[in-house]
Structure 1
Amino acid sequence: MSDQPESRRAAVRRGIRARTVLWIVLAVVLLLILAVVWVGARAALAKGHLERAVSDVSTLRSQVGDGDTKAAQETARQLEDEASAARSLTGDPVWGAAQYVPFFGTNLRAVREVSVVVDDVATGAVSPVADVIGGLSTDSFAPKGGKVDLEALVKAQPAVERATATLTKADRDASAIDTSDTLSPVTSAVNQLRNALRSASDQVATANRVVQLAPAMLGNDGERNYVLLFQNNAELRAGGGIPGAVALLKVQDGAISLGDQTAGSSFGPYPESVLPLEPGTRSLYGSITGRYMQDVTLTPRFDVSAELAREMWKQKFGQQVDGVLAIDPVTLSYILRATGPVQLPTGDTLTSDNAVQLLLSDVYAKYPDPAVQDLFFASAASAVFDRVSSGSFDAKQFISALTQGTQEGRLRLWSATKAEQQRLEGTPLAGELPTVTKATRQFGVYLNDGTASKMDYYLEKTVSVGASVCRPDGRPTSAVEVTIKNTAPADAATSLPEYVTGGGAFGTEPGKIKTLVAVYAPENAIYLGSSQDGKQVGVQTVMDGDHPAVQLQTLLAPGQSTTFRVAFLGDTKYAKAAVDVLSTPGVRQSKVLPLRFDCSDPTAAR
């Protein structure tokens, strides 16, 4: 009996401990519930801020495109506020601890990282650019009083450069977000962010190059002189067309003017190439590449073409220019959408609708004398140039025209200043050989006229490309197919001017089109084989630098066509990269089509 009180006391103590544990458990459960409610509530608020930020981005893009800079600046401020709020809501200690909870933590961590990236972009890219956007609209590129105002571009340089660096880092950070165990809505949001950043990063990087390069190249630091090549797509060269007319472009403090103009045929022939040619260039295109101004664009490498043209100009005029610019009549037709019709001294009216046909076809029937043709080309280019330099054009349409011409390979630019040329490298303006990255494997299809005439106005081209992993080692096989057709009338030999057909002077029967077709692969690819119209064919195989290239000569009568297919083997590490093709821009732009092939013989027609 004497130990009963002790037993009761022990029971009481056990009861107290049990109740204490229960209260602790209840407290922990309550804290967890509160934490879940807290995180859930903040997640809902953060989601709302992020959604509004996305909406602001869309609005901002439209406002900038419409030139409404005042509204764009206000939207940029709203975007910064929304992004900052989302970052704050996902950055408290409770959220930080919850990120380590199994399953849910992965999602919370991804949302947090999205919020950080969006806020970084808002504060480090959008806001700096918004501060200068009022003085940097599309109208900034329109000459006023004969000059482009370079001050706004110079002021924008630090902000745009900072934005470029911010977006590049944001692109890397977004790519590093772990979505392996996230819920579908979170995964989708992260992927949307990645796609948006990739696009924005590329666009801003391009804008940065323009903003950094434009002031100096437009003479902000003193007079600049450039050789201007007018390429004629009716007589194809790998880089575009034969440089039929050449002019000096002078720029100083934003003022642009045309100087000496002359025919491309007035340069050379030089007894030997004005500059040494690499073996691949000489083997594929011959020493004439460096002996005639009209042949400097036989190579698709615009840096080579530009250096040759620069040296030829120096030898003819004794002047060392600062760079080389190339443009074609198709790009002029795009520019005419911005300027409207222009009147030529001949009485002809040049419009966006008739420029290509007038400059590349009708002119030969209307003005049979080649010297008069050269004057006509020069007057057309001068008339469009005068309209542009006066500022009498729609700036937004003008930028669109230059962008389209550049993307199609019709507009090229090379600078003799090493630092400027380095900024141009990697852009469509540079006119480089195909490249390969984890995202894209590029191939090249380049055409050179072999008729020595203007028959390529009637040459139609279709390009297709496809890839597949056909080998156990995972190396990708790629096939490039190009079909060309002579669409000239059946009676071309007699119905077209002799200057257009060539008249048989260089060994090609009038009406027929002789074409040299070169197909390039990215660096370190391995050539597998070729076919023409489904049959194996012998080709010239050459290394142009580190690029394997094959070349075939074709001859087509009116109505005839031929299909040339080439296969290459690539590196395993690029097996998942999308495939694309760079191609000589002709009179009409052609799209790159998908190509399917049988792994047993990638050169065989299906």
Structure 2
Amino acid sequence: MAIVLLVILAVAWVGVRGVLAKGHLENAVADVQTLRTQLTGGDTASAEKTAAHLEDEAGAARSLTGDPIWRASEHVPFFGTNLRAVRQIAGVVDDVSQGAVSPVASVVDKLGTDLFEPKNGKVDLQPLVQAQAPVAKATATIDEAVKDADAIDTVNTLSPVTSAVNQLRNALTSVHGQVDTANRVVQLAPAMLGADGDRQYLLLFQNNAELRAGGGIPGAVALLNVNDGSVAFGEQRSGSSFGPYPESVLPLDDGTKALYGDITGQYMQDVTLTPRFDVSGKLAQAMWQRETGQHVNGVIAIDPVTLGYLLKATGPVQLATGDTLTSDNAVKLLLSEAYAKYSDPKVQDAFFASAASAVFEKVSSGGFDAKQFVAALTQSAGEGRLRLWSTDASEEQLIDGTAVAGALPTADQETRQFGVYLNDGTGSKMDYYLQKTISVGSSVCRKDGLPTSAVEVTIKNTAPADAATSLPEYVTGGGAFGTEPGKIKTLIAVYAPQNAIFLGASQNGKAVGVQTATDDGHPVAQLRTVLAPGESATFRVAFLGQAKNAKAGTEVLSTPGLEQTKALPLRFDCAAPVPQG
């Protein structure tokens, strides 16, 4: 009788504490949602109070599910599996509240979007320095929490418990990426903005009207002088003033030479022929040092579309030429109208450099909307328009894996990336009229479980029918490089993740031979097309992947043009992933 009574009491004890714990966990989840809203809205004072309440709720849930009776009940068949999972959920939530939310809440009031707005010509770096340790702790905590949540056994748990575990995992996955990015910014920004001494960066102003795999031809370059949070323009030069050099300024690996040639390291305007920005950065740094004797600490690349985004934050700027640059006219003025107004290429390059300088000067003065500014940089980085490379190995390690790194496609169990990179072969500015669409699809077509993926690229020359005569010769190229005026020659390189196998390619529905190569372990298929005004071409490439990543989703990295290209879904016949007609 005593044993039965003890069992009843234990069940009652666990049941009551379970109900209480459930209430605390639900309150904690509500606090998380409230906290995200408050942080997004800049209400840091309320966020600190919410963070404290979250810690109390999470701690209470953990306490209620961690006593000896609860732990002993976890060994009861079936029933115990659910109790164990609930305890583990409470533990993860409490760990995150104490090790991530609370440390960040202690500094969040000093980390608003206006942090990057200069005061008296400089950004106050001290709040970033003070945030480094708490944000690093939060990142480590989230890393462990992801592992702990993934380790919760839900094989025999009840549906509500399984659902709670999945919600926890999804939330942590989402937060993990955000916290990791925040940590990288906080760790990088002070040193790169000159907190430890003067820095110099080389700015490449890429021109999307003449495409390079990494964005566009670096038509103009400029030195950025950085000191303790202040940024100022230094010497400016035309990209065409660097090279040609008799040989590459640095040794090129076999993949780069095979696909893009030695010219990648012989002309500043060609350093972004490769999509690997770490390679582009090293080459640009070496060329600048060769011409000026000056060692820069890193290389940054932007394009006119990025300037357009930034102008939403700064408002219009006046150029020395008398032109007014706005968010609405930046792309058209810089990539099209400038060629009609200024026929001398050197004047055009100077015009591009002056545009970038004017925007940066307004940013340096603090005359901009901070939220719009951060949003502009975020959008530009996400679209592959903003690139950054550092000479410091520890900084480069933090940059690696972020949107600004300019790295090649990767693959894991969640996502398989492919790359579609375009290089102009016309020797002109006709890519202002090049339209691009991309589709990607994947399916397991084989008994061995290896996934087949296909990437389809369609490009179209949208120039006017009379482009050969109606457009300036500098825009059409005038046939100087072997392409008839009005036509667009393009080299399309499709990259797969490392260890993939090239299966075949087609153009306009018919099998076609392509150049195949390997770039840093990535199989590449490259095709050259020449399109007259109004013509288009569709190029499809298929690859075989690894079985461990068969269920992963697919993404495409792509050379940024005038407009952002979003990959569309592609369906194909497993019997013929690329047409053989």
Superposed CA offset, 1:137-168 (max 9, x none): 21111111111111111111100000000000
Aligned counterpart, 1:182: 157
From 32, 39, 45, give the equivalent of 1:64. 39
Correspondences of 1:404-553 after superposition (within 5 Å): 404-553=379-528
Aligned counterpart, 1:571: 546
SS of 2:404's equivalent in the other structure is helix
**In structure 1, C-alpha distance between the alignment counterparts of 2:564 and 2:15, rounded to whole Å:** 53
Aligned counterpart, 1:12: none
Superposed CA offset, 1:368-427 (max 9, x none): 222221221111111110111111111111111111111111101000011111111111
**RMSD across aligned C-alpha pairs, in angstroms?**
1.3
The letter of the residue matching 1:101 is V
Alignment pair present for 1:267 and 2:242: yes
From 216, 232, 245, give the equivalent of 1:241. 216
**In structure 2, C-alpha distance between the alignment counterparts of 1:488 and 1:33, rounded to whole Å:** 82
Correspondences of 1:21-100 after superposition (within 5 Å): 24=1, 27-100=2-75
**In structure 2, C-alpha distance between the alignment counterparts of 1:335 and 1:44, rounded to whole Å:** 52
The letter of the residue matching 2:290 is Q
**In structure 2, C-alpha distance between the alignment counterparts of 1:528 and 1:371, rounded to whole Å:** 45
From 260, 264, 274, give the equivalent of 1:285. 260
Gaps of 5+ in 2: none
Quick check: 1:597–1:605 contact (8 Å CA) kept in 2? no
**In structure 1, C-alpha distance between the alignment counterparts of 2:540 and 2:249, rounded to whole Å:** 35
Shift of 1:605: 8.6
Shift of 1:37: 2.6
**In structure 2, C-alpha distance between the alignment counterparts of 1:383 and 1:453, rounded to whole Å:** 26
From 343, 360, 363, give the equivalent of 1:388. 363
The structure with more radius of gyration: 1
Quick check: 2:511–2:580 contact (8 Å CA) kept in 1? no
Aligned counterpart, 1:5: none
From 252, 271, 275, give the equivalent of 1:296. 271
Alignment pair present for 1:229 and 2:204: yes
Aligned counterpart, 1:6: none
SS of 1:429's equivalent in the other structure is coil
**In structure 2, C-alpha distance between the alignment counterparts of 1:374 and 1:138, rounded to whole Å:** 33
Aligned counterpart, 1:14: none
**In structure 2, C-alpha distance between the alignment counterparts of 1:79 and 1:351, rounded to whole Å:** 45
**In structure 1, C-alpha distance between the alignment counterparts of 2:7 and 2:372, rounded to whole Å:** 59
The letter of the residue matching 1:549 is V
Shift of 1:248: 0.2
Q: How many residue pairs end up in the alignment?
A: 581
Shift of 1:281: 0.5
**In structure 2, C-alpha distance between the alignment counterparts of 1:42 and 1:344, rounded to whole Å:** 69
Quick check: 1:359–1:377 contact (8 Å CA) kept in 2? yes
Quick check: 1:597–1:604 contact (8 Å CA) kept in 2? no
Aligned counterpart, 1:601: 576
Moved over 4 A (4+): none
Superposed CA offset, 1:86-143 (max 9, x none): 1111112222122222222211111111110000000000000111112222111111
**In structure 1, C-alpha distance between the alignment counterparts of 2:580 and 2:83, rounded to whole Å:** 52
**In structure 2, C-alpha distance between the alignment counterparts of 1:80 and 1:337, rounded to whole Å:** 39
Superposed CA offset, 1:269-306 (max 9, x none): 11111111111101110111111000000000101100
Gaps of 5+ in 1: 1-23
**In structure 2, C-alpha distance between the alignment counterparts of 1:379 and 1:68, rounded to whole Å:** 38
Correspondences of 1:325-340 after superposition (within 5 Å): 325-340=300-315
Correspondences of 1:550-561 after superposition (within 5 Å): 550-561=525-536
Shift of 1:30: 3.5
From 96, 117, 121, give the equivalent of 1:146. 121
The letter of the residue matching 1:28 is I
Quick check: 1:525–1:568 contact (8 Å CA) kept in 2? yes
The letter of the residue matching 1:351 is T
Quick check: 2:55–2:94 contact (8 Å CA) kept in 1? yes
**In structure 1, C-alpha distance between the alignment counterparts of 2:187 and 2:245, rounded to whole Å:** 37
**In structure 2, C-alpha distance between the alignment counterparts of 1:319 and 1:117, rounded to whole Å:** 51
Identity %: 72
From 89, 100, 111, give the equivalent of 1:136. 111
Superposed CA offset, 1:2-22 (max 9, x none): xxxxxxxxxxxxxxxxxxxxx
From 354, 374, 378, give the equivalent of 2:349. 374
**In structure 1, C-alpha distance between the alignment counterparts of 2:364 and 2:562, rounded to whole Å:** 26
The letter of the residue matching 1:99 is E
Alignment pair present for 1:192 and 2:167: yes
Aligned counterpart, 2:294: 319
Alignment pair present for 1:114 and 2:89: yes
The letter of the residue matching 2:78 is F
Q: Which shows bigger deviation, 112-121 or 56-65?
A: 56-65
The letter of the residue matching 2:524 is A
Shift of 1:268: 0.8
Shift of 1:530: 0.4
Aligned counterpart, 1:585: 560
Shift of 1:357: 1.2
**In structure 2, C-alpha distance between the alignment counterparts of 1:31 and 1:358, rounded to whole Å:** 82
**In structure 2, C-alpha distance between the alignment counterparts of 1:360 and 1:31, rounded to whole Å:** 81
SS of 1:80's equivalent in the other structure is helix
Shift of 1:262: 1.0
**In structure 1, C-alpha distance between the alignment counterparts of 2:66 and 2:398, rounded to whole Å:** 38
Quick check: 1:598–1:604 contact (8 Å CA) kept in 2? no
Shift of 1:36: 2.5
Q: Normalization by structure 1: what TM-score? A: 0.94
**In structure 2, C-alpha distance between the alignment counterparts of 1:173 and 1:245, rounded to whole Å:** 50
**In structure 1, C-alpha distance between the alignment counterparts of 2:447 and 2:195, rounded to whole Å:** 57
Q: Normalization by structure 2: what TM-score? A: 0.98
Shift of 1:40: 2.1
**In structure 2, C-alpha distance between the alignment counterparts of 1:347 and 1:526, rounded to whole Å:** 54
The letter of the residue matching 2:544 is L
From 202, 209, 212, give the equivalent of 2:184. 209
Aligned counterpart, 2:372: 397
Aligned counterpart, 1:15: none
Q: Which shows bigger deviation, 288-297 or 364-373?
A: 364-373
